[in-house]
Amino acid sequence: MSNEGQTDEPKLTTNLKGHAVNIYINRTLSAALAALLAACGGGSSDSPVSPASSFSVGGSVSQLTALKSLVLSNNGGDNVTVSANGTFTFPTKVASGASYAVTVGTQPVGMTCGVTNGTGTATANVVNVAVTCYKNPGFVYVTNYVARIVSEYSVNPVTGAMTSVGSIATGAGAHGVAVDPTNKFAYVTNVIDGTVSAYTISSSTGVLTSAGAAVPTGTSPYSVAVDPSGKFAYVANQGSNTVSAYTINSTTGVLTSIGAIPAGTGPYGVTVDPTGKFAYVVNLGSNNVSAYTINSTTGVLTFVASVVAGLGADGVTVDPTGKFAYVTNDSDNNVSAYNVNPSTGALTPAGTVFPAGTNPHNLAIDPTGKFAYVSNNGSSDISMYTIDATTGALTPIGSNISTTAARPNSLAIDSTGRFAIVLTNNSTVITYTIDSTTGALTPTGSSVNTNSPPFGIAITSVP
């Protein structure tokens, strides 16, 4: 019995002590392992993660013209220069929870860029700032026949809204207006005075300044055109059935007469083709179009031929490719189309006419040559067309768009192709946006009052 007792007691003591030691060792190892994992950033899935202390701010730029650049600023101090479309990121991050405010520090030359999603609080990397750039539409000049002034406007490049920048006196019966291709000079015909006035254009404000005394023309000069080189100007004289030609002083803009030559009966509209090789005059009285070649050195016109138009032909336009010409026929309520001979400038009827509204006054074509628009004075609406690049045929874009009884006199398309600006008999100027895909017009809801019926419109081009 005693031997069994001595044997059993040590076994029990050893087992208990061994068990206790094992528990102590396991707990010590677990604590050490947990400390090691914590030091290495590991641990259980619900362990807290330290938040980032700062975040980057950036986004993307679109529609920036090649070879142009802009400077973006964050919070008025951190700048980045962007020279191409795509993504950008400011060099300095902002603290977590801090605000950011992205603005345009320096606009591209001839463009205006706007920022969306530009402000907020940084709780993660900011990547959705959007910068969209638009070419500046240029300045708009509108003649007021009764008021004897030229109204001057700037155009918001995003909304198309027009803002007056002033006006300047002209002669009696201000009607036609044209701007030279360098955007330095503007010319206005004065129907009652039988003169053409010259003005210099402020490149920064668009304000006109007289370039000297008005120059004599023929009787009742209704329209004026400047050739693409900016060296010559031409005036259609309805009362004297002639076309007057002038050289343009490249420094002062002053016109010097180089004579006048015969046109048809009642010449009303004049234009020069995009190559500067040919001039065309539409004759309201004889219902035809006269074609001329232009001497590239002297500016002198040489008659080529006349081609028949419709009744009441009063507007002539050549498309940007120089392949097609169009004439609005006020009494026939349609548009005549012609092919242009690239060697001689002679016009050949395209074989059909295209319906317009009532009393179409003039036709304007967008800079891409894809779309055409006609102002219909009698039906108070605008006809919209696509242009077939091969044949020049006009296809209507839906129904005519109403100007709400405003009786449009004329219209022009800005050089960005984004806006159509329409002059109306009720002394208002209405702006429309142009869908770049379909060509459809949409009213911007913006209009300005000219206080007397406007007749002529010209828009400076974008560099």
Strand (E) positions, 96-228?
99-106, 111-116, 119-121, 126-135, 140-144, 149-155, 162-169, 174-179, 185-190, 195-201, 208-210, 215-216, 221-226
114 vs 390: CA distance, rounded Å: 38
> Where is average pLDDT lowest: 227-236, 284-293, 401-410?
401-410
Q: Does the structure show a pLDDT above 90 at 46?
A: no
374 vs 360: CA distance, rounded Å: 6
CATH class of 140-459: mainly beta
Residue 463 confidence (pLDDT): 66
Residue 149 confidence (pLDDT): 97
- In this prediction, residues 12-30 reach a mean pLDDT of 42
- Helix (H) or strand (E) run with residue 159 in it: none
Residue 351 confidence (pLDDT): 83
The answer to whether 462 touches 137, Cβ cutoff 8 Å, is: yes
Portion of the chain with pLDDT greater than 70, in percent: 89
How buried is residue 184: exposed, middle or buried, by Cβ count under 10 Å (0-12/13-18/19+)? buried
214 confidence band (pLDDT: 50, 70, 90): very high
**pLDDT tens digits, residue range 253-290?**
999 999 999 999 999 999 999 999 999 999 999 999 99
178 vs 461: CA distance, rounded Å: 11
What is the residue-wise DSSP string for 23-65? HHHHHHHHHHHHHHHHHTT---TTS--PPPSEE-EEEEEESPP
Residue 192 confidence (pLDDT): 98
Residue 110 confidence (pLDDT): 85
- In this prediction, residues 314-328 reach a mean pLDDT of 97
> Contacts from 218-221 at CB under 8 Å and sequence distance 24+?
218/194, 218/242, 218/244, 218/260, 219/194, 220/191, 220/194, 221/175, 221/176, 221/189, 221/190, 221/191, 221/194, 221/195, 221/196
Portion of the chain with pLDDT greater than 90, in percent: 83
How buried is residue 434: exposed, middle or buried, by Cβ count under 10 Å (0-12/13-18/19+)? buried
Indicate the Cα dihedral angle 343, 283, 460, 323, nearest 10°: -30
Q: Which amino acid is at 419?
A: F
- In this prediction, residues 73-88 reach a mean pLDDT of 96
Residue 354 confidence (pLDDT): 97
Residue 17 confidence (pLDDT): 41
- In this prediction, residues 373-399 reach a mean pLDDT of 97
The average confidence (pLDDT) of the chain is 90
**pLDDT tens digits, residue range 85-95?**
999 999 999 99
Dihedral angle sign, alpha carbons of residues 268, 272, 273, 278:
positive
176 vs 448: CA distance, rounded Å: 19
Helix, strand, coil % in the chain, rounded to nearest 5: 10, 50, 40
- In this prediction, residues 304-316 reach a mean pLDDT of 97
User: Of 307, 308, 225, which Cα lies nearest the Cα of 274?
Assistant: 225
Q: Does the structure show a pLDDT above 80 at 7?
A: no
User: Of 51, 78, 64, 72, which Cα lies nearest the Cα of 115?
Assistant: 72
Phi–psi pair at 149, nearest 5 degrees: -140, 165
Q: Does the structure show a pLDDT above 70 at 140?
A: yes
199 vs 233: CA distance, rounded Å: 13
pTM, to two decimals: 0.82
- In this prediction, residues 205-225 reach a mean pLDDT of 97
Give the tokens for residue 315.
Answer: 């507007």
Q: Does the structure show a pLDDT above 70 at 26?
A: no
Which range, 23-27, 133-137, 191-195, has the best average confidence (pLDDT)? 191-195
Q: Given the DSSP bridges, would you call strands 119-121 and 78-82 parallel, antiparallel or unpaired?
A: unpaired
Give the tokens for residue 221.
Answer: 């000069």
User: Of 123, 124, 83, 120, which Cα lies nearest the Cα of 102?
Assistant: 120
- Count of Cβ atoms closer than 10 Å to residue 265 Cβ: 12
Residues near 197 by beta carbon (within 8 Å), at least 6 away in sequence: 170, 171, 174, 187, 188, 190, 210, 214, 215
Residue 345 confidence (pLDDT): 98
135 vs 436: CA distance, rounded Å: 14
19 vs 26: CA distance, rounded Å: 11
Q: Does the structure show a pLDDT above 50 at 42?
A: no
- In this prediction, residues 205-220 reach a mean pLDDT of 97
24 confidence band (pLDDT: 50, 70, 90): very low
443 vs 440: CA distance, rounded Å: 10
Residue 462 confidence (pLDDT): 75
23 confidence band (pLDDT: 50, 70, 90): very low
Residues near 448 by beta carbon (within 8 Å), at least 6 away in sequence: 151, 153, 162, 164, 428, 429
The C-alpha angle 155, 156, 158, rounded to 5 degrees, equals 135
